[in-house]
């Protein structure tokens, strides 16, 4: 569940980033298109405005000419023929047409570059022909347009800065908007997909949202967890029933075998076979009990209400294994640097965990070997290390030592491969991390770190 939560949360964050980047890119394209079109639009609007102004001036000039003659133009205008305004931005010029082919039909408006007093200037010029006193004349009225190029350059710079500003603002706003939009989704992830000890502890409270899809997701998760809860309950009942039903016939068979063994009519050969059968039944009984223990731990059927002094608990385990230790003449070294009492735990399960680890160290140790048991507190974390100098194992074998029914060392027929899986299950139940290091013919070390545990 925790892995699914992390994957979905990562996907949600990726979605936010992608959405913001998409919006930024799309807006950038829109602004770039706007930047490309805006100067053309402005140029068209300005040219239309200038053309209308030039046409109005040409009509005014023609009226003056027809009313009072060409000489009156000089009197009515600030500029004379072929002369420009002070800034050389406007001019009116009248030329007599000597060649009829130069006569212009209608009005012509175009941009022209002219050298005026050594300066190359661009004007928009209206040109037309008219007849006055039986003489053809050409009228030119011009207006400078160099400011238009400056305007277009200014607009491009402004558009560029505006684009950058819009992109930055849009990214910020998009992140904020998507974060608000996905709030119900993130709440579903943090509430519905958080690790729970068992399905029975799941929170079925609906997450309010105005988005139909999020409501559907919440409902589907609740439906799924209801089914898991029902399955979980059935599994607990099944395990309990199966355990009881299997233990009963095994106990009956063991009693019958004991009755037969004590009978006087049984030969030695049959006694040996009956004894082997009794060992097999005992082995089956231990397997069933071990599997039932693992299942109950995984199903959160144990309470964590005890306070345990770890040093005293380790002493109890070592005393319980005294016969095995003496049998192999193993030397136990205790290095209890700090006393620690662990709260909110299950003493029986912790005893089982350390019993299996130390028993494993005895089982795979050499005769007259050594086992070092160390306790210490580092950064407010209790650490228990159990190290032996036995046969050890290869690095490639370590990841598989907690697999059920896995015995990596075949040199001994002891056990049935459930000791270390029980250790791992109990450790997970108490949030204890276990690190294993080992070298062939040098020994193995189990390091148990009690994480987030209150110590006294």
Name every residue whose Cβ is closer than 8 Å to that of residue 207 and which is 6 or more positions away in sequence.
Answer: 184, 187, 188, 191, 192, 214, 215, 218
pLDDT of 97 reads 77
Alpha helices by DSSP H, 365-445: 419-429
Stretch 204-223: mean pLDDT, rounded? 77
Q: With 0-12 CB in 10 A as exposed, 13-18 as middle and 19+ as buried, what is 438?
A: buried
For the chain, counts of helices (H) and of strands (E): 10, 12
Residue 333: pLDDT above 60? yes
Residue 416: pLDDT above 60? no
Name every residue whose Cβ is closer than 8 Å to that of residue 44 and which is 6 or more positions away in sequence.
Answer: none
Query: Is residue 435 helix, strand or coil?
Result: strand
Residue 79: pLDDT above 50? no
Q: What is the pLDDT of residues 288-320, one digit of tens each?
A: 777 777 777 777 777 888 889 999 999 999 999
CB atoms within 10 A of CB 309: 15
Residue 144: pLDDT above 60? yes
Stretch 407-431: mean pLDDT, rounded? 71
Task: Evaluate whether 336 touches 403 at the Cβ level (below 8 Å).
Answer: no
Q: What is the pLDDT of residues 440-454, one digit of tens each?
A: 889 999 999 987 554
pLDDT of 397 reads 85
pLDDT of 244 reads 66
pLDDT of 47 reads 82
The chain-wide mean pLDDT, for the chain, equals: 77
Smallest Cα–Cα separation from 358: which of 381, 397, 328? 328
Task: Evaluate whether 134 touches 166 at the Cβ level (below 8 Å).
Answer: no
Q: Which of 353-357, 412-416, 436-440 has the weakest average pLDDT?
A: 412-416
User: What whole-number distance in Å separates Cα of residue 354 and Cα of residue 26?
Assistant: 62
Band of the pLDDT at 56, cuts 50, 70, 90?
confident
pLDDT of 408 reads 55
Stretch 142-171: mean pLDDT, rounded? 74
pLDDT of 196 reads 62
Smallest Cα–Cα separation from 276: which of 429, 413, 452, 138? 413
CATH number of 1-181: 3.30.450
User: What whole-number distance in Å separates Cα of residue 101 and Cα of residue 43?
Assistant: 32
pLDDT of 386 reads 93
DSSP string of 280-323?
HHHHHHHHHHHHHHHHHHHTT-S---EEEEHHHHHHHHHHHTHH
pLDDT: which is higher, 157 or 141: 141
Stretch 58-74: mean pLDDT, rounded? 71
- Work out whether strand 341-345 and strand 306-309 pair parallel, antiparallel, or are unpaired: antiparallel
Write down the architecture of domain 306-450 according to CATH.
2-Layer Sandwich (3.30)
Q: What is the pLDDT of residues 336-352, one digit of tens each?
A: 877 788 888 899 999 99
Among 106-120, 133-147, 311-325, 413-427, name the most confident range: 311-325
Residue 58: pLDDT above 70? yes
Residue 113: pLDDT above 60? yes
CATH 1.10.287 domain extents, the chain: 212-298
Task: Look up residue 107 and give its DSSP letter.
Answer: E
Stretch 166-189: mean pLDDT, rounded? 74
pLDDT of 11 reads 45
Residue 238: pLDDT above 50? yes
DSSP string of 321-374?
THHHHHHTTPEEEEEE-S--EEEEE-HHHHHHHHHHHHHHHHHTSPTT-EEEEE
Task: Look up residue 455 and give its DSSP letter.
Answer: B
Stretch 209-236: mean pLDDT, rounded? 77
pLDDT: which is higher, 450 or 169: 450
Stretch 404-420: mean pLDDT, rounded? 59
Structure tokens at 193: 């997909």
**212-298 adopts what CATH topology?**
Helix Hairpins (1.10.287)
Structure tokens at 60: 């005014």
Stretch 48-65: mean pLDDT, rounded? 84
Band of the pLDDT at 358, cuts 50, 70, 90?
very high
Stretch 72-76: mean pLDDT, rounded? 47
Stretch 242-267: mean pLDDT, rounded? 74
19-23 long-range contacts, CB within 8 A, separation 24+: 19/174, 19/178, 20/170, 20/171, 20/174, 20/175, 20/178, 21/171, 23/170, 23/171, 23/174
Residue 434: pLDDT above 80? yes
Stretch 31-57: mean pLDDT, rounded? 80
pLDDT of 331 reads 93
Exposed e or buried b for every residue in 340-370, given b needs 16+ CB within 10 A?
A: bebeebbbebbbbbbbbbbbbbbbbbeeebb
**∠ Cα 119 123 126 (to 5°):** 140
CATH 3.30.450 domain extents, the chain: 1-181
Stretch 46-75: mean pLDDT, rounded? 75
Residue 26: pLDDT above 80? no
CATH 3.30.565.10 domain extents, the chain: 306-450
Residue 126: pLDDT above 80? yes
Percent with pLDDT over 70 in the chain: 80
């Amino acid at each position: 569940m925790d892995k699914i939560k992390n994957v979905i949360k990562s996907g949600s964050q990726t979605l936010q980033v992608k959405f913001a980047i998409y919006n930024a890119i799309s807006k950038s394209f829109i602004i770039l298109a706007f930047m490309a079109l805006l100067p053309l639009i402005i140029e068209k609007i300005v040219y239309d405005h200038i053309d209308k102004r030039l046409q109005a001036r040409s009509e005014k000039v023609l009226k003056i000419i027809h009313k009072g003659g060409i000489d009156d133009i000089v009197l009515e205008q600030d500029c004379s023929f072929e002369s420009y305004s002070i800034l050389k931005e406007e001019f009116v010029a009248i030329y007599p047409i000597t060649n009829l082919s130069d006569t212009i039909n209608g009005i012509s408006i175009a941009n022209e570059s002219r050298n005026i007093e050594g300066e190359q200037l661009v004007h928009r010029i209206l040109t037309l022909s008219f007849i006055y006193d039986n003489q053809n004349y050409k009228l030119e009225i011009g207006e400078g347009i160099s400011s238009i190029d400056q305007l277009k350059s200014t607009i491009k710079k402004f558009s560029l800065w505006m684009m950058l500003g819009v992109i930055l603002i849009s990214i910020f706003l998009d992140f904020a908007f998507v974060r608000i939009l996905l709030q119900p989704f993130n709440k579903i992830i943090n509430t519905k997909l958080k690790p729970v000890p068992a399905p029975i502890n799941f929170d079925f409270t609906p997450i309010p949202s105005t988005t139909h899809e999020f409501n559907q997701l919440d409902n589907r998760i609740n439906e799924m967890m209801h089914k898991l809860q029902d399955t979980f309950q059935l599994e607990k009942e099944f395990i309990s029933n199966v355990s009881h039903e299997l233990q009963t016939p095994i106990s009956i068979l063991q009693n019958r075998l004991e009755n037969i063994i004590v009978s006087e009519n049984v030969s030695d050969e049959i006694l040996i076979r009956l004894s082997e059968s009794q060992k097999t039944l005992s082995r089956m009984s231990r397997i069933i009990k071990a599997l039932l223990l693992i299942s109950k731990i995984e199903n959160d059927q144990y309470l964590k209400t005890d306070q345990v002094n770890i040093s005293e608990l380790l002493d109890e385990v070592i005393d319980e294994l005294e016969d095995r230790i003496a049998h192999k003449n193993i030397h136990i070294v205790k290095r209890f640097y700090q006393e620690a009492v662990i709260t909110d735990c299950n003493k029986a399960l912790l005893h089982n965990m350390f019993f299996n680890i130390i028993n494993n160290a005895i089982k795979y140790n050499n005769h007259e070997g050594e086992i070092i048991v160390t306790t210490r507190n580092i950064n407010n974390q209790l650490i228990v290390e159990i190290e032996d100098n036995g046969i050890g194992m290869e690095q490639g074998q370590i990841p598989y030592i907690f697999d059920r029914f896995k015995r990596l060392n075949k040199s001994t027929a002891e056990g049935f491969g459930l000791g270390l899986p029980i250790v791992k299950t109990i450790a997970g139940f108490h949030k204890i991390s276990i690190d294993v290091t080992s070298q062939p013919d040098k020994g193995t070390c189990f390091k148990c770190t009690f994480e987030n545990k209150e110590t006294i």
